Amino acid sequence: MLKKLSTDTINTILIIGVILLVVEIVFFNGGLVFSVVFSGVLMYIGWKNYRPLWRKILFWIGLISLIFTVLSMIAVRFLVIALILMFLRDYFKSREKPEHIQPEIIDYHQELPEQEPLLRQKFFGDDATPKTSYEWKDINIHGGFGDKIVDLSQTVLPHDEAVISIRQWIGNLTVYVPYEVEVSIHHSALIGRAAIFQYKKSKVFNQVISYQTEGYRKEKPRVKIITSMVSGELEVKRV
């Protein structure tokens, strides 16, 4: 079912869930944090030395308490209801129009290959490199929620190697790379999709993707892209 959902839909559901969780803790049930911590302590004490009977009892009491605490959260109930509604929607759609599955063919022969920062540290909101020509500076940022665009066609890359390192929770990342630039990509995501030139990964679920163009180790200029996200889509295009 997750494969059929767009990344934006998944991100929207997760953002709403996080907002509901924060609202619940701040305004309605501040004891949730204490309950989760207390259950975690019981589980840790029991798991640290699992052989004695009393430690086993502590572990299972903590686990059961944690499960009931999590299930009582409004955010978790919202996510469960959202998943049920999406499952029912996909089920009825599949009955009306059955899915035609075709094999995905990937060609592995060509690949396997105090200054102002270009992007700011933002917990919320989208960001992008300038649309006009700009001086290149390596990117190393951590973000929260929002989409980011990096356009390398508007700058002159250094002679040795340019580095783009972006770690964020939820959001999409698009990188535009000139044709003469060699690329190495190391991408990890809990949920999402990846489209790197002609390589398409329609479903990324707790995976790490490594990609390298054929001339990356020998040719210059080149750029190393390191990304990590909880939920989002990585897209790398030639321009």
Expressed as residue numbers, the domain containing 70 is 2-96
Domain contains 109: no
Q: What is the mean pLDDT of residues 100-116?
A: 47
Q: Which helix (H) or strand (E) holds 11?
A: helix 7-23
Per-residue pLDDT, 112: 46
Closest residue by Cα to residue 73 from 37, 12, 14, 24: 24
Q: What is the mean pLDDT of residues 166-183?
A: 88
Structure tokens that stand for 170 in this block: 């939820």
Domain co-membership, 141 together with 227: yes
Closest residue by Cα to residue 230 from 140, 149, 142: 142
CA distance 68 to 160: 54
Q: What is the mean pLDDT of residues 154-162?
A: 83
- Cβ atoms 192, 232 nearer than 8 A: yes
Check: pTM over 0.75? Answer yes or no: no
Stronger pLDDT, 90 or 109, i.e. the higher one: 90
How does pLDDT run across 19-38, given as a tens digit for each residue? 887 887 777 776 777 788 88
Domain contains 112: no
Domain contains 115: no
Domain co-membership, 86 together with 136: no
Domain contains 121: no
- The domain total for the chain is 2
Domain contains 214: yes
C-alpha dihedral (173, 176, 180, 185), degrees to nearest 10? 0
Domain contains 168: yes
Domain co-membership, 142 together with 70: no
CA distance 8 to 232: 8
Domain co-membership, 88 together with 159: no
- Is 149's pLDDT higher than 80? yes
Domain co-membership, 160 together with 64: no
Closest residue by Cα to residue 62 from 78, 73, 50, 51: 50
- Is 195's pLDDT higher than 80? yes
Domain co-membership, 63 together with 7: yes
Domain contains 134: yes
Domain co-membership, 90 together with 137: no
CA distance 71 to 64: 11
Domain contains 119: no
Structure tokens that stand for 52 in this block: 């004695």
Q: Which of 114-123, 146-155, 157-166, 219-228 ranks highest by mean pLDDT?
A: 219-228
Stronger pLDDT, 183 or 85, i.e. the higher one: 183
